[in-house]
Amino acid sequence: MRIACPFCGERENGEFTYLGDAKPKRPAMVAIDGGAGAPGEAEAFYDYVYLRDNFAGEMSEYWYHGGGCRSWLVIERNTLTHDIKSVRAAPGAGAAKAGAK
Amino acid sequence: MADFTWTTRSPLQQAVIAGRHGAAIAKAGIRLSEIRDFDLVQVFARRGQWAATAKAAKAYFGVAAPTGPKAVTGKKGVLVWSGADQFMALSPRLGTIQPVDGLRGVFEGFASLSDQSDGRCLIRLSGPRVREMLAKVNSLDLHDGVFPIGAAATTSIDHTAVNLWRDADAPDGSPVFNVLVFSSFADSLWHTLVDSAAEYGIEVETVSIAVD
Amino acid sequence: MASAQSNRLAKGGLIDRNAPLSFTFDGKAMIGYAGDTLASALVANGVTLVGRSFKYHRPRGILTAGPEEPNALVELRSGARREANTKATTAELYDGLDALSQNRWPSLGFDVMSVNSLLSPIFVAGFYYKTFMWPAKFWEKLYEPAIRRAAGLGRTSGIADPDHYEKAWAHCDVLVVGSGPAGLAAALAAGRTGARVILAEEDRLAGGRLNSDGGEIDGMPAGEWLAGALAELEALPNVRIMTRTAVFGVYDGGTYGALERVNDHLPVPPVHQPRQRLWRIVAKRCVVAAGAIERPIVFSGNDRPGVMMASAVRTYVERFAAAPGKRLALFTNNDDGWKTVEAAHRAGIEIAAVIDSRKDLSQHHRALAQSGGFAVHNGVVVDVKGGKTGVSGVEIALANGGSAQIAADVLAMSGGWNPSVGLSSHHRGRPKWREDIAAFVPEGAPAGMLSAGAANGDFSLSACLRTGHEAGLAAASDLGFKGRAGKAPAASDEAISISPLWHVEGRKKGFVDFQHDVTASDIALAQREGFESVEHLKRYTTLGMATDQGKNSNVTGLAIMSELTRRSIPQTGTTIYRPPHVPVAIGAFAGHHRDENFHSVRLTPSHHWAAERGAVFVDTGLWKRAQWYPIAGENDWLTSVNREVLTVRNGVGFCDVSTLGKIDVMGKDAGAFLDRVYINAFASLAVGKARYGLMLREDGIVMDDGTTSRLAEDHYFLTTTTAKAGPVMQYLEFCRQVLWPELDVQLTSCTDQWAQFSIAGPKTRDLLREIVDPAEDLSNEGFPFMGVREVRLRGGMFARLFRISFSGEMAFEISVPARYGDAMARNLMKAGEPFGVVPYGTEALGVMRIEKGHIAGAELNGTTTADDLGLGKMMSKKKDFVGRVMAGREALTAPDRQVVVGLKPVDKARRLRSGAHIIPKGAAVGPDTDQGYVTSVCHSPMLGQWIGLGLVERGRERIGEIVRAHDPLRGEDYYVEICNPVFYDPEGGRQRG
């Protein structure tokens, strides 16, 4: 398989590491001051940490270009054909060119 | 009280043996050299500060910082792209000042700096067979039309992350490739390079960047 | 005395008669010529019997002239280089080649196992499956040894392969697989447009069937045209011709696997050169011009030595000037077989007869028979007469009901051609049946792949040239290459006609799969027993599962099944094609990565100094670390380690700890970032201070630990364990780039930048005062515990100094740029000389951390929580952090969890071993009484006995309890006492002193 890193161009998959489904979003960090966290957070984390769909077809996935530019990527890939539809950088890769905070 | 001397030792000191190696072919197909005595600073632009970082780099190095996989040469050194928002500034060793201290004023508030002068070894590969030899250890297409002079890449050699860029051609017309490799891997990688190059005949030398 | 080349033709062939080569076959000396394969040299020497079959040990001869050969498998070379199952048909002859036939005992001519042939009723299809059903005790003692003796191909040498293999990458616009007429036309068309072309040819010579079939192209003899085409391709700088290179697989994204047999044609590879090279070719487009494979017809005795594929006969005669016989009969169902008769006739071989299963004979063939003076029979061969070394004649059943006997010493057979659909089917493409040529052609090929010529079912020379040109041009223009491709080379022959004939019923065995001894009756048996699906047929009969992967047999086998089940061939279908298309040695896949090059090695900055001192090294991940430093007179490790520990505890020692992962965490939000990834607070850490930190995974389990220092407001220096340096960096990048892009944080690994040494022991300050500039205040007040700052050293150096301790002693870590690491080790020895300093290795480091109850990898094992490790109180209640929520789960906070405790054997002389299970005293051993296990052990010189850490259920409530350490692995069972994990200096006064 070959992956077109948005920063480096097309590379062989040996330069990349697979993480998994990019759909689940980590519940936000919350303010804690000696008290409890957010209501329902245990369930939210249970979903985030453990519940995964088993895709036969297109899914978006996290990949890490660790053998190259160390960018995290979000890749839309078909698990049946290995065809890659899109590759984009994670929001924090290239943050210096994003708008100043 | 004892006197202390601080002799430097390159991680390649034991591996690099100047002279001819490998196949006994009249003209070595591969020239391998370790480039020593450089300062290397990783410049990593802060959030939203790329434009300011690039401007500062231009003012100091006299060349625009690379925004993509390129290596550009300025009056004070070579800037090698090393990832999103980052580049490596390679220059002859000053010795009088820690490399990061020398640049701190230039990038204050715009970019984070990390000294990598000892974190990497710099290996230069050239010779008429250099592309064939690199094809054994790296997956990139280094064809002239795809990887011209000034092209750079963050990639892997033998599963080890490296910065690779193409320099101006050698006097004999051979392409020249520079490889920055993590210091602890350098000895091992050097042996892999020598093994890959052996069938073409190798000429090994050590070069100081200051006199290069 | 070498035998004369009795069957070598007087002239012709692409061999060098001025370069004779000596070789032996089963010890018998013979002579061939440069340009020969082993098979052609055997043919030239009149050898017909070359091997015994796999199951029945039937005598077999050379069947083909190519990589599809099922019979002529030999062991080549000797000693460590002995290689089994080498095809004589592709092995290039070299001077001194020694080949042994396989699968025969005691000799090829007299094989006692051929009695299997008499037992064949029990060796039928499904034999293995039925045998596995037999009683197990019979299987192990009786059947398996017997079967192993009887069946199986060549022997391995059992010795490490002394040759070097390597891997390489190549890139091109258009990869052309095969250099026959179609491949050459494709390469010329694509190459002329300016596209980068790789032309891969499995053979030593480019040309494919042009080297065997001749013909006329663009008005000149094929050989002449071939030379011109190759000269043009070689002159094009954008074209690379790779001979001896077989493309064996198609992988995702246009990546092709290919095996280059760089030096298989030499007895031993030249020094510095690999034997084989495994290529990964990245190609934007691919033209498969891999040709076709002629298929046998199944009839009684079709495996007798002397029965040969018609195209192979032609190759031996034309390319190698070697006559497979003196009197040839041809059995064919198509026009192409007739070309063999023409070639043999031209070479002066007598034609006995042509047996053509088709009713109508073309005018051309009729004329040929007349001029050649041979008979043409409309009928089929029903038996082959002869002995184990050859054919004496054939028996024919005529279409008109009669029969005939013909004397001949070689029978050429042609059942038509199967296009090579292997590569085009590697992505689950299912080939399509074409009735007009009675063959499967590619369908559903991977993106970017075209097939041309015989590989696509276009068998005539003219069609090969035309479709090759078209495919090459199409591939290049698709990529935007606009150069002039010129005209397609032209030839004037016509498409061949065929009338399918798969199987002739006969009295004796007719073989479908020669290599696995699968007969037509095996297929019939499989059908009767219900294994009708082709996938079942394959597994039940082992059809197509030998080293030739069914290249000769698969289509015929399924055609016979389709006849038996009265389904069409397309309805019957094909099995799935998977890489590799040709056998590839594991050594080629491993390439450079074996022995000392199995993986890359990382060396510490003081490595060479340690090696000079005779340190013993241990592999820690990729790192080589000094494990201990033996001195004169010490010859067991424990003596050295005890000495190192005692010297540190009573004096001073140092250890290279550069392998710890080091990360510069920088930016405005660096503190906030660390607050999120560590369970304890870091934003509040003062500049110039270090703090021990613990990270959890999202599921609440501990990920890693380490000391992190604040060097500036916006700069932290984070350390990880040696093992987790890479994973932690990757994780932190995930946090930075994916989870919290809003934070201004930059991460850079600086593991290799710094040489870092731990200096420990009560005399640490004395040593440091020798080497550190006297102006630097190292007192408790001037440099308190967990303090960090840059200091000047004597001799004009600077260093980072951290007052942290892993050993529990008064300790500092000193850090200098890595190029000074070697000097630092030497200078520490010099500075410490008055105080008896020793370097210590990872063993002493381990002893001291266990004595102090400090956790390491064995406790940070992916199952433990912060509280399990006794670090629960570190979890901040004032801020959120990764793992906080899940760490609060019931199971992770249950009171009966296994927690870290100290363990010591009740019998002080006993050695404690890690891995032993903890069982309550008096309880029976079993999973329900298992309460934990020993994680880390050492011999403590301070306590004078073996001690350890363990994870024990409710351990902290059970200090003082005696439990059983049960070790079924080593057969040990003894009592240990649960104790405080801090064995030494529990108040911690020493490290703060």
pLDDT higher than 90, residue B165: yes
Q: What angle do CA C62, C64, C66 make, to 5 degrees?
A: 120
* Average model confidence (pLDDT) across chain C: 94
CA distance B40 to chain A (A): 17
Work out the angle between the directed axes of helices C363-372 and C336-346 (0-180°, nearest 10).
30
Q: What angle do CA C782, C785, C791 make, to 5 degrees?
A: 50
A5 vs C contacts (CB less than 8 Å): none
What are the CA-CA distances from residue C246 to residues B3, C435, C459, C732 (Å)? Answer: 65, 30, 21, 44
C754 vs B contacts (CB less than 8 Å): 118
Q: Where are the domains of chain A?
A: 2-27+38-89
Residues forming a β-bridge with C464 = none
Is residue C222 within 8 Å of C215, Cβ to Cβ? Answer: yes
Please give the pLDDT value at position C545: 86
CB contact under 8 A, C600 and B159: yes
Radius of gyration of chain B (CA): 18
Q: What is the pLDDT of residues C792-845, one digit of tens each?
A: 999 989 999 999 998 889 999 999 999 999 999 999 999 999 999 999 999 999
Q: Which two tokens stand for residue C332?
A: 């064919």
CATH topology (fold) of B38-115: Alpha-Beta Plaits (3.30.70)
CA distance B31 to chain A (A): 25
Looking at domain A2-27+38-89, its CATH architecture is 2-Layer Sandwich (3.30)
Do B19-36+119-208 and B38-115 agree at the fold level? Answer: no
pLDDT higher than 50, residue C2: no
Please give the pLDDT value at position C55: 81
Please give the pLDDT value at position A101: 40
B154 touches chain A (CB under 8 A): yes
Q: Which position has the higher pLDDT, C51 or B120?
A: B120
CB contact under 8 A, B158 and C830: no
B4 vs C contacts (CB less than 8 Å): 771, 793-795, 797, 827, 830-831
Q: What is the pLDDT of residues C930-939, one digit of tens each?
A: 999 999 999 9
Nearest CA in chain A to B87: A69
Chains that touch C (3 or more CB pairs under 8 A): A, B
Q: Is C952 left (phi over 0), alpha (psi -120 to 50) or beta?
A: beta
Q: Which two tokens stand for residue C289?
A: 């011009």
Classify domain C501-565 by CATH number. 1.10.10.1100
Q: Where are the domains of chain C?
A: 165-292+420-478, 296-415, 501-565, 602-658+754-848, 663-746, 895-993
- For residues B114 and C662, what is the distance between their CA atoms, to the nearest angstrom? 12
Question: Quick one: average pLDDT of B167-181?
Answer: 97
Q: What is the pLDDT of residues C500-545, one digit of tens each?
A: 999 999 889 999 999 889 999 999 999 999 999 999 999 999 898 8
Question: Quick one: average pLDDT of C130-149?
Answer: 63
B4 touches chain C (CB under 8 A): yes
Question: What's phi and psi for C932, nearest 5 deg?
Answer: 140, -165
Please give the pLDDT value at position A91: 94
Answer positive or negative: Cα dihedral of C321, C322, C327, C330.
negative
Please give the pLDDT value at position A33: 77
Among B199-208, C90-99, C461-470, C629-638, which is the least confidently predicted range?
B199-208
Question: Quick one: average pLDDT of C918-929?
Answer: 95
Q: Where are the domains of chain B?
A: 19-36+119-208, 38-115
Rounded to two decimals, the pTM is: 0.94
**Residue C823: which of B6, B22, B138 has the nearest Cβ?**
B6
Do C165-292+420-478 and C296-415 agree at the fold level? Answer: yes
- For residues C594 and C784, what is the distance between their CA atoms, to the nearest angstrom? 49
Q: What is the pLDDT of residues C231-250, one digit of tens each?
A: 999 999 999 999 999 999 99
Question: Quick one: average pLDDT of C267-276?
Answer: 95
Question: Quick one: average pLDDT of C447-459?
Answer: 97
The β-bridge relationship of strands B38-45 and B86-92 is antiparallel
Nearest CA in chain B to C831: B2
Answer whether CATH 3.40.109.10 is correct for domain C296-415.
no
Q: What is the pLDDT of residues C385-418, one digit of tens each?
A: 998 889 999 999 999 999 999 999 999 999 999 9
Q: C255, C664, C737, C824: best mutation site toward chain B, by most B Cβ within 10 Å?
A: C664
Among C15-29, C547-561, C842-856, which is the least confidently predicted range?
C547-561
CATH topology (fold) of C895-993: Elongation Factor Tu (Ef-tu); domain 3 (2.40.30)
Please give the pLDDT value at position C154: 73
What are the CA-CA distances from residue A65 to residues A62, C329, C750 (Å)? Answer: 10, 63, 18
pLDDT higher than 80, residue C152: no
Q: What is the pLDDT of residues C76-94, one digit of tens each?
A: 988 889 888 899 999 999 9
Q: What is the residue whose two structure tokens read 């692995």?
A: C969
C602 vs B contacts (CB less than 8 Å): 182, 184-185, 188
Q: For residue C271, what pLDDT band results from cuts at 50, 70 and 90?
A: very high
Q: For residue B142, what pLDDT band results from cuts at 50, 70 and 90?
A: very high
Residues in B 41-60 with any Cβ partner in A closer than 8 A: 45-50, 53
Q: Which position has the higher pLDDT, C128 or C193?
A: C193
Share of residues in chain C with pLDDT > 70 (%) = 96
B30 vs C contacts (CB less than 8 Å): none
pLDDT higher than 60, residue B212: no
Is residue B202 within 8 Å of B30, Cβ to Cβ? Answer: yes
pLDDT higher than 50, residue B211: no
B45 vs A contacts (CB less than 8 Å): 96
Q: What is the pLDDT of residues B63-89, one digit of tens each?
A: 999 999 999 999 999 999 999 999 999
Q: For residue C177, what pLDDT band results from cuts at 50, 70 and 90?
A: very high
Answer whether CATH 3.40.50.300 is correct for domain C165-292+420-478.
no
CB contact under 8 A, C600 and B185: yes
DSSP string of C674-687, one letter each residue: HHHHBSS--TTPPT
Looking at domain C663-746, its CATH architecture is 2-Layer Sandwich (3.30)
Q: In what order do the strands lie in the sheet with C746-749?
A: C690-696, C702-712, C715-720, C661-666, C746-749
**Residue B47: which of A7, A9, A96 has the nearest Cβ?**
A96
Question: Quick one: average pLDDT of A29-55?
Answer: 91
A23 vs C contacts (CB less than 8 Å): none
Please give the pLDDT value at position C122: 65
Q: Which two tokens stand for residue C223?
A: 């050989």
Q: For residue C36, what pLDDT band results from cuts at 50, 70 and 90?
A: very high
CB contact under 8 A, A32 and C880: yes
Please give the pLDDT value at position C105: 66
Question: Quick one: average pLDDT of C934-953?
Answer: 97
Q: What angle do CA B111, B115, B117 make, to 5 degrees?
A: 140
Classify domain C602-658+754-848 by CATH number. 3.30.1360.120
Please give the pLDDT value at position C128: 65
Residues, chain C, total? 993
C740 vs A contacts (CB less than 8 Å): 29, 92
Q: For residue C897, what pLDDT band results from cuts at 50, 70 and 90?
A: very high
Please give the pLDDT value at position C388: 84
**Residue C885: which of A31, A34, A45 has the nearest Cβ?**
A45
Closest CA to B129 of B198, B212, B192: B198
Is residue B79 within 8 Å of B61, Cβ to Cβ? Answer: yes
End-to-end CA distance of chain B: 40
Q: What is the pLDDT of residues B90-140, one digit of tens each?
A: 999 987 788 999 999 999 999 999 999 999 999 999 999 999 999 999 999
Pick the CATH number of B19-36+119-208 from 1.10.10.10, 3.30.1360.120, 2.60.40.10, 3.40.1160.10: 3.30.1360.120
- For residues C881 and C698, what is the distance between their CA atoms, to the nearest angstrom? 9
Question: Quick one: average pLDDT of C680-692?
Answer: 98
